[in-house]
Chain A
Amino acid sequence: MKLIKKILIVSAVLLVTSCAQFKLIPASELKVKGFSVLPATSWSKSPFEPGEKAEVWTIDGYSLNQMLVFGEIKEGETLLKETSKELPMPKFRAEMLPNELEDLVKTSIINQEDGTLKIETKNVRPQQIGEQVAFRFELEFFDANGLKKNSDVIVWVKDKQLFGMIFTAPTLHYYESYKPALNKTYNSIKA
Protein backbone atom coordinates (compact mmCIF):
# COMPACT_ATOMS: atom_id res chain seq x y z
CA MET A 1 0.00 0.00 0.00
CA LYS A 2 2.74 2.40 0.93
CA LEU A 3 4.62 1.54 -2.24
CA ILE A 4 1.63 2.16 -4.47
CA LYS A 5 0.92 5.47 -2.84
CA LYS A 6 4.49 6.54 -3.25
CA ILE A 7 4.49 5.51 -6.87
CA LEU A 8 1.26 7.32 -7.60
CA ILE A 9 2.35 10.50 -5.93
CA VAL A 10 5.87 10.53 -7.30
CA SER A 11 4.87 9.71 -10.86
CA ALA A 12 2.09 12.26 -10.65
CA VAL A 13 4.34 14.98 -9.32
CA LEU A 14 6.95 14.24 -11.93
CA LEU A 15 4.43 14.06 -14.75
CA VAL A 16 2.69 17.25 -13.75
CA THR A 17 6.01 18.99 -13.70
CA SER A 18 7.18 17.15 -16.78
CA CYS A 19 8.32 20.41 -18.33
CA ALA A 20 10.88 20.41 -15.54
CA GLN A 21 12.82 17.25 -16.24
CA PHE A 22 16.02 15.85 -14.83
CA LYS A 23 18.97 17.61 -16.42
CA LEU A 24 22.38 16.14 -17.11
CA ILE A 25 25.30 17.34 -15.03
CA PRO A 26 28.38 16.17 -16.94
CA ALA A 27 31.57 15.06 -15.23
CA SER A 28 33.32 18.37 -15.77
CA GLU A 29 34.08 21.28 -13.49
CA LEU A 30 31.01 23.33 -12.61
CA LYS A 31 30.06 26.29 -10.46
CA VAL A 32 27.19 25.51 -8.17
CA LYS A 33 25.75 27.25 -5.11
CA GLY A 34 28.75 29.55 -4.79
CA PHE A 35 31.59 27.04 -5.09
CA SER A 36 33.16 24.92 -7.77
CA VAL A 37 33.47 21.16 -8.02
CA LEU A 38 34.46 18.54 -10.58
CA PRO A 39 32.08 15.58 -10.22
CA ALA A 40 33.87 12.30 -10.89
CA THR A 41 30.83 10.91 -12.71
CA SER A 42 27.89 12.53 -14.42
CA TRP A 43 24.69 13.16 -12.48
CA SER A 44 21.03 13.91 -13.18
CA LYS A 45 19.83 17.08 -11.52
CA SER A 46 16.33 16.85 -10.08
CA PRO A 47 13.69 19.47 -10.92
CA PHE A 48 12.72 19.30 -7.25
CA GLU A 49 14.52 21.70 -4.92
CA PRO A 50 14.76 20.46 -1.33
CA GLY A 51 15.84 23.85 -0.02
CA GLU A 52 15.91 27.49 -1.10
CA LYS A 53 19.64 27.16 -1.53
CA ALA A 54 19.96 23.46 -2.18
CA GLU A 55 19.58 21.13 -5.14
CA VAL A 56 19.56 17.38 -5.43
CA TRP A 57 21.26 15.11 -7.95
CA THR A 58 20.97 11.41 -8.59
CA ILE A 59 22.40 8.76 -10.89
CA ASP A 60 20.00 5.81 -10.64
CA GLY A 61 17.11 7.32 -8.66
CA TYR A 62 16.82 9.07 -5.30
CA SER A 63 16.75 5.96 -3.18
CA LEU A 64 19.86 4.45 -4.78
CA ASN A 65 22.14 7.45 -4.83
CA GLN A 66 21.60 11.09 -4.22
CA MET A 67 23.77 14.13 -3.79
CA LEU A 68 22.50 17.13 -1.91
CA VAL A 69 24.37 20.27 -2.91
CA PHE A 70 23.96 23.51 -0.99
CA GLY A 71 25.67 26.82 -0.43
CA GLU A 72 25.48 30.53 0.44
CA ILE A 73 23.19 29.71 3.36
CA LYS A 74 23.20 32.78 5.58
CA GLU A 75 22.74 33.30 9.31
CA GLY A 76 19.19 32.36 10.29
CA GLU A 77 18.48 30.41 7.08
CA THR A 78 17.83 26.68 6.89
CA LEU A 79 19.52 23.95 4.89
CA LEU A 80 16.26 22.33 3.79
CA LYS A 81 12.71 23.56 3.39
CA GLU A 82 10.34 22.81 6.21
CA THR A 83 8.01 19.93 5.40
CA SER A 84 5.86 20.53 8.44
CA LYS A 85 5.39 23.32 10.94
CA GLU A 86 5.56 20.69 13.64
CA LEU A 87 9.07 19.80 12.59
CA PRO A 88 10.95 23.09 12.33
CA MET A 89 14.21 23.05 10.41
CA PRO A 90 17.23 24.11 12.47
CA LYS A 91 18.67 27.47 11.49
CA PHE A 92 22.28 28.05 10.55
CA ARG A 93 24.35 30.35 12.78
CA ALA A 94 27.65 31.66 11.52
CA GLU A 95 29.59 30.87 14.69
CA MET A 96 28.63 27.19 14.67
CA LEU A 97 31.41 24.73 15.54
CA PRO A 98 31.71 21.20 14.11
CA ASN A 99 29.58 19.59 16.82
CA GLU A 100 26.80 22.07 16.08
CA LEU A 101 27.08 21.68 12.32
CA GLU A 102 26.80 17.94 12.82
CA ASP A 103 23.58 18.46 14.81
CA LEU A 104 22.29 20.88 12.15
CA VAL A 105 22.84 18.38 9.35
CA LYS A 106 21.39 15.47 11.29
CA THR A 107 18.30 17.30 12.49
CA SER A 108 17.68 18.66 8.98
CA ILE A 109 17.75 15.13 7.54
CA ILE A 110 15.66 13.72 10.38
CA ASN A 111 12.98 16.37 10.07
CA GLN A 112 12.85 16.03 6.31
CA GLU A 113 12.11 12.35 6.91
CA ASP A 114 9.20 13.15 9.23
CA GLY A 115 11.09 13.47 12.44
CA THR A 116 11.94 10.02 13.69
CA LEU A 117 15.07 8.65 12.04
CA LYS A 118 17.86 7.70 14.39
CA ILE A 119 21.20 8.63 12.91
CA GLU A 120 24.66 7.51 14.01
CA THR A 121 27.67 9.69 13.25
CA LYS A 122 31.03 8.26 12.28
CA ASN A 123 34.50 9.32 11.32
CA VAL A 124 34.32 13.08 11.95
CA ARG A 125 37.44 14.81 10.67
CA PRO A 126 38.73 18.01 9.16
CA GLN A 127 39.41 18.15 5.45
CA GLN A 128 41.43 20.82 3.71
CA ILE A 129 39.86 22.14 0.49
CA GLY A 130 42.25 24.74 -0.87
CA GLU A 131 42.64 27.46 1.75
CA GLN A 132 39.47 26.38 3.44
CA VAL A 133 39.04 23.84 6.23
CA ALA A 134 35.91 21.73 5.84
CA PHE A 135 34.40 19.13 8.20
CA ARG A 136 33.73 15.70 6.90
CA PHE A 137 31.72 12.93 8.56
CA GLU A 138 29.63 9.89 7.80
CA LEU A 139 26.09 9.02 8.88
CA GLU A 140 24.33 5.69 9.20
CA PHE A 141 20.59 5.10 9.50
CA PHE A 142 17.60 3.05 8.37
CA ASP A 143 15.16 4.78 6.05
CA ALA A 144 11.40 4.58 6.46
CA ASN A 145 11.26 1.30 4.53
CA GLY A 146 13.94 -0.38 6.62
CA LEU A 147 16.72 0.01 4.04
CA LYS A 148 20.05 0.75 5.68
CA LYS A 149 21.81 3.80 4.29
CA ASN A 150 24.97 5.82 4.74
CA SER A 151 25.73 9.44 4.04
CA ASP A 152 29.10 11.09 3.48
CA VAL A 153 28.90 14.74 4.48
CA ILE A 154 31.27 17.59 3.74
CA VAL A 155 30.43 21.07 5.07
CA TRP A 156 32.30 24.31 5.49
CA VAL A 157 31.63 27.85 6.60
CA LYS A 158 33.06 30.67 4.50
CA ASP A 159 32.27 34.38 4.81
CA LYS A 160 29.70 33.47 7.47
CA GLN A 161 27.84 31.25 4.99
CA LEU A 162 27.28 27.50 4.98
CA PHE A 163 28.27 25.31 2.02
CA GLY A 164 28.45 21.60 1.48
CA MET A 165 27.57 18.33 -0.21
CA ILE A 166 25.90 15.22 1.20
CA PHE A 167 26.05 11.90 -0.63
CA THR A 168 23.53 9.26 0.46
CA ALA A 169 23.17 5.66 -0.74
CA PRO A 170 22.13 2.22 0.53
CA THR A 171 24.87 0.62 2.62
CA LEU A 172 24.62 -2.52 0.55
CA HIS A 173 26.65 -2.15 -2.64
CA TYR A 174 25.76 1.43 -3.58
CA TYR A 175 27.57 3.36 -0.84
CA GLU A 176 30.86 1.49 -0.95
CA SER A 177 31.06 1.19 -4.70
CA TYR A 178 30.76 4.95 -5.18
CA LYS A 179 33.32 5.82 -2.51
CA PRO A 180 36.39 6.27 -4.78
CA ALA A 181 34.42 8.56 -7.12
CA LEU A 182 33.05 10.44 -4.15
CA ASN A 183 36.48 11.03 -2.65
CA LYS A 184 37.67 12.36 -5.99
CA THR A 185 34.66 14.65 -6.19
CA TYR A 186 35.05 16.04 -2.67
CA ASN A 187 38.79 16.51 -3.18
CA SER A 188 38.05 18.65 -6.24
CA ILE A 189 35.98 21.21 -4.34
CA LYS A 190 37.21 24.80 -4.52
CA ALA A 191 35.52 26.80 -1.82
Chain B
Amino acid sequence: MSEATRPDPAPNPGRRRALLLAPLGLAAVAGAGFYAMLRGLGSGSYDPRGVPSALLGKPPPDFALPPLEGAERPGLASADLRGGGRPVLVNFFASWCMPCVIEHPQLMRLARAGVPVLGIAYKDKPEDSLGFLRRHGNPYTRLGVDQPGRVAIDWGVYGVPETYLVDPSGLIRWRWAGPITEDTLRQDLEPLLRRHA
Protein backbone atom coordinates (compact mmCIF):
# COMPACT_ATOMS: atom_id res chain seq x y z
CA MET B 1 0.00 0.00 0.00
CA SER B 2 2.94 2.35 0.27
CA GLU B 3 3.99 1.69 -3.28
CA ALA B 4 3.98 5.40 -4.05
CA THR B 5 6.79 6.46 -6.27
CA ARG B 6 8.71 9.61 -5.54
CA PRO B 7 8.76 12.20 -8.26
CA ASP B 8 11.70 11.63 -10.55
CA PRO B 9 14.28 14.28 -9.66
CA ALA B 10 15.65 14.65 -13.18
CA PRO B 11 13.11 13.47 -15.72
CA ASN B 12 13.57 13.79 -19.40
CA PRO B 13 13.11 17.55 -20.00
CA GLY B 14 10.93 17.04 -23.08
CA ARG B 15 8.57 14.75 -21.25
CA ARG B 16 8.44 17.08 -18.30
CA ARG B 17 7.55 19.98 -20.56
CA ALA B 18 4.76 17.96 -22.18
CA LEU B 19 3.49 16.98 -18.75
CA LEU B 20 3.45 20.59 -17.61
CA LEU B 21 1.57 21.58 -20.78
CA ALA B 22 -1.04 18.85 -20.35
CA PRO B 23 -3.32 20.77 -17.93
CA LEU B 24 -3.39 23.73 -20.30
CA GLY B 25 -4.23 21.46 -23.24
CA LEU B 26 -7.02 19.70 -21.35
CA ALA B 27 -8.45 23.00 -20.14
CA ALA B 28 -8.40 24.34 -23.71
CA VAL B 29 -10.20 21.27 -25.09
CA ALA B 30 -12.80 21.42 -22.33
CA GLY B 31 -13.23 25.15 -22.89
CA ALA B 32 -13.80 24.64 -26.61
CA GLY B 33 -16.36 21.95 -25.83
CA PHE B 34 -18.20 24.17 -23.37
CA TYR B 35 -18.21 26.97 -25.91
CA ALA B 36 -19.75 24.66 -28.51
CA MET B 37 -22.40 23.66 -25.95
CA LEU B 38 -23.25 27.26 -25.22
CA ARG B 39 -23.52 27.99 -28.94
CA GLY B 40 -25.71 24.92 -29.29
CA LEU B 41 -27.93 26.10 -26.44
CA GLY B 42 -28.54 29.32 -28.33
CA SER B 43 -29.34 27.63 -31.61
CA GLY B 44 -31.25 24.72 -30.11
CA SER B 45 -28.86 22.04 -31.35
CA TYR B 46 -27.69 21.28 -27.81
CA ASP B 47 -30.35 20.72 -25.19
CA PRO B 48 -29.41 19.07 -21.91
CA ARG B 49 -33.00 18.95 -20.66
CA GLY B 50 -34.74 17.29 -23.57
CA VAL B 51 -35.09 13.54 -23.57
CA PRO B 52 -34.60 12.47 -27.17
CA SER B 53 -37.37 10.75 -29.00
CA ALA B 54 -37.02 8.39 -31.91
CA LEU B 55 -40.03 10.21 -33.35
CA LEU B 56 -38.47 13.67 -33.61
CA GLY B 57 -38.86 14.92 -37.18
CA LYS B 58 -41.21 12.04 -38.00
CA PRO B 59 -44.99 11.79 -38.19
CA PRO B 60 -46.71 10.36 -35.12
CA PRO B 61 -47.79 6.69 -35.19
CA ASP B 62 -51.30 5.87 -36.42
CA PHE B 63 -53.95 5.60 -33.75
CA ALA B 64 -57.62 6.28 -33.06
CA LEU B 65 -58.82 6.70 -29.48
CA PRO B 66 -62.42 6.86 -28.19
CA PRO B 67 -63.64 10.03 -26.48
CA LEU B 68 -64.02 10.39 -22.71
CA GLU B 69 -67.70 9.96 -21.82
CA GLY B 70 -69.04 13.09 -20.19
CA ALA B 71 -66.14 15.37 -21.13
CA GLU B 72 -67.99 16.76 -24.14
CA ARG B 73 -64.91 16.59 -26.34
CA PRO B 74 -64.43 14.48 -29.49
CA GLY B 75 -61.99 11.56 -29.40
CA LEU B 76 -58.52 11.73 -30.86
CA ALA B 77 -57.00 10.07 -33.93
CA SER B 78 -53.73 10.59 -35.77
CA ALA B 79 -55.59 12.39 -38.57
CA ASP B 80 -56.55 15.16 -36.11
CA LEU B 81 -52.90 16.11 -35.66
CA ARG B 82 -52.21 17.56 -39.08
CA GLY B 83 -53.64 19.98 -41.53
CA GLY B 84 -54.87 22.45 -38.92
CA GLY B 85 -52.49 25.09 -40.22
CA ARG B 86 -50.94 25.56 -36.78
CA PRO B 87 -48.83 23.56 -34.36
CA VAL B 88 -50.68 21.38 -31.84
CA LEU B 89 -49.67 19.91 -28.51
CA VAL B 90 -50.35 16.30 -27.59
CA ASN B 91 -50.37 15.83 -23.85
CA PHE B 92 -50.38 12.47 -22.05
CA PHE B 93 -51.82 12.80 -18.56
CA ALA B 94 -53.48 10.84 -15.78
CA SER B 95 -55.50 11.75 -12.72
CA TRP B 96 -53.15 9.71 -10.50
CA CYS B 97 -50.11 11.68 -11.53
CA MET B 98 -48.97 14.48 -9.19
CA PRO B 99 -46.76 16.35 -11.69
CA CYS B 100 -49.81 16.54 -13.99
CA VAL B 101 -51.45 18.77 -11.39
CA ILE B 102 -48.39 21.01 -11.34
CA GLU B 103 -48.44 21.19 -15.12
CA HIS B 104 -52.15 21.81 -15.45
CA PRO B 105 -52.25 25.60 -14.98
CA GLN B 106 -49.76 25.96 -17.83
CA LEU B 107 -51.95 23.84 -20.11
CA MET B 108 -54.96 25.93 -19.16
CA ARG B 109 -53.04 29.06 -20.01
CA LEU B 110 -52.02 27.64 -23.41
CA ALA B 111 -55.64 26.67 -24.10
CA ARG B 112 -56.83 30.17 -23.22
CA ALA B 113 -54.20 31.58 -25.60
CA GLY B 114 -55.79 29.49 -28.35
CA VAL B 115 -53.14 26.81 -28.72
CA PRO B 116 -54.82 23.48 -29.56
CA VAL B 117 -53.97 21.11 -26.71
CA LEU B 118 -54.96 17.53 -27.44
CA GLY B 119 -55.19 15.20 -24.50
CA ILE B 120 -54.62 11.48 -24.07
CA ALA B 121 -55.73 10.05 -20.74
CA TYR B 122 -53.12 7.40 -19.99
CA LYS B 123 -53.95 4.26 -17.99
CA ASP B 124 -56.68 6.02 -16.07
CA LYS B 125 -60.25 5.11 -15.11
CA PRO B 126 -62.62 7.30 -17.19
CA GLU B 127 -64.48 8.51 -14.09
CA ASP B 128 -61.18 9.52 -12.45
CA SER B 129 -60.08 11.42 -15.56
CA LEU B 130 -63.40 13.18 -15.62
CA GLY B 131 -63.13 14.11 -11.95
CA PHE B 132 -59.62 15.43 -12.54
CA LEU B 133 -60.82 17.68 -15.40
CA ARG B 134 -63.83 18.88 -13.38
CA ARG B 135 -61.56 19.85 -10.49
CA HIS B 136 -58.77 21.49 -12.44
CA GLY B 137 -60.44 22.54 -15.69
CA ASN B 138 -60.32 21.04 -19.15
CA PRO B 139 -57.68 22.52 -21.48
CA TYR B 140 -58.14 19.90 -24.20
CA THR B 141 -59.89 20.53 -27.50
CA ARG B 142 -59.90 16.80 -28.22
CA LEU B 143 -59.50 14.03 -25.73
CA GLY B 144 -58.72 10.37 -26.32
CA VAL B 145 -58.85 7.60 -23.72
CA ASP B 146 -55.89 5.22 -23.76
CA GLN B 147 -56.82 3.01 -20.87
CA PRO B 148 -54.59 0.06 -21.85
CA GLY B 149 -51.71 2.47 -22.63
CA ARG B 150 -51.03 0.93 -26.05
CA VAL B 151 -50.93 4.19 -27.98
CA ALA B 152 -48.50 5.53 -25.40
CA ILE B 153 -46.18 2.59 -26.14
CA ASP B 154 -46.27 3.43 -29.86
CA TRP B 155 -45.34 7.01 -29.06
CA GLY B 156 -42.56 5.85 -26.77
CA VAL B 157 -44.02 7.64 -23.76
CA TYR B 158 -41.61 7.60 -20.87
CA GLY B 159 -44.14 8.47 -18.18
CA VAL B 160 -46.87 10.98 -17.53
CA PRO B 161 -47.03 13.86 -17.99
CA GLU B 162 -45.41 13.96 -21.37
CA THR B 163 -46.01 16.44 -24.15
CA TYR B 164 -45.29 16.48 -27.87
CA LEU B 165 -45.37 19.36 -30.29
CA VAL B 166 -46.63 18.47 -33.77
CA ASP B 167 -45.96 21.09 -36.45
CA PRO B 168 -48.54 22.08 -39.12
CA SER B 169 -47.08 19.58 -41.59
CA GLY B 170 -47.77 16.80 -39.08
CA LEU B 171 -44.20 16.12 -37.91
CA ILE B 172 -43.19 15.78 -34.25
CA ARG B 173 -40.85 18.64 -33.38
CA TRP B 174 -40.44 18.50 -29.64
CA ARG B 175 -40.93 16.13 -26.80
CA TRP B 176 -41.06 17.01 -23.13
CA ALA B 177 -40.99 14.30 -20.49
CA GLY B 178 -42.15 15.72 -17.20
CA PRO B 179 -44.38 18.62 -16.21
CA ILE B 180 -44.46 21.81 -18.27
CA THR B 181 -43.54 24.38 -15.66
CA GLU B 182 -43.75 28.11 -16.11
CA ASP B 183 -40.06 28.13 -16.98
CA THR B 184 -40.52 25.41 -19.59
CA LEU B 185 -43.40 27.33 -21.04
CA ARG B 186 -41.47 30.56 -21.26
CA GLN B 187 -38.08 29.26 -22.24
CA ASP B 188 -38.86 26.29 -24.44
CA LEU B 189 -42.43 25.95 -25.55
CA GLU B 190 -43.35 29.52 -26.43
CA PRO B 191 -40.31 30.04 -28.72
CA LEU B 192 -41.07 26.69 -30.39
CA LEU B 193 -44.71 27.60 -30.92
CA ARG B 194 -43.62 30.84 -32.54
CA ARG B 195 -41.06 29.09 -34.71
CA HIS B 196 -43.48 26.48 -36.01
CA ALA B 197 -46.49 28.78 -36.29
Chain B associates with chain A: no
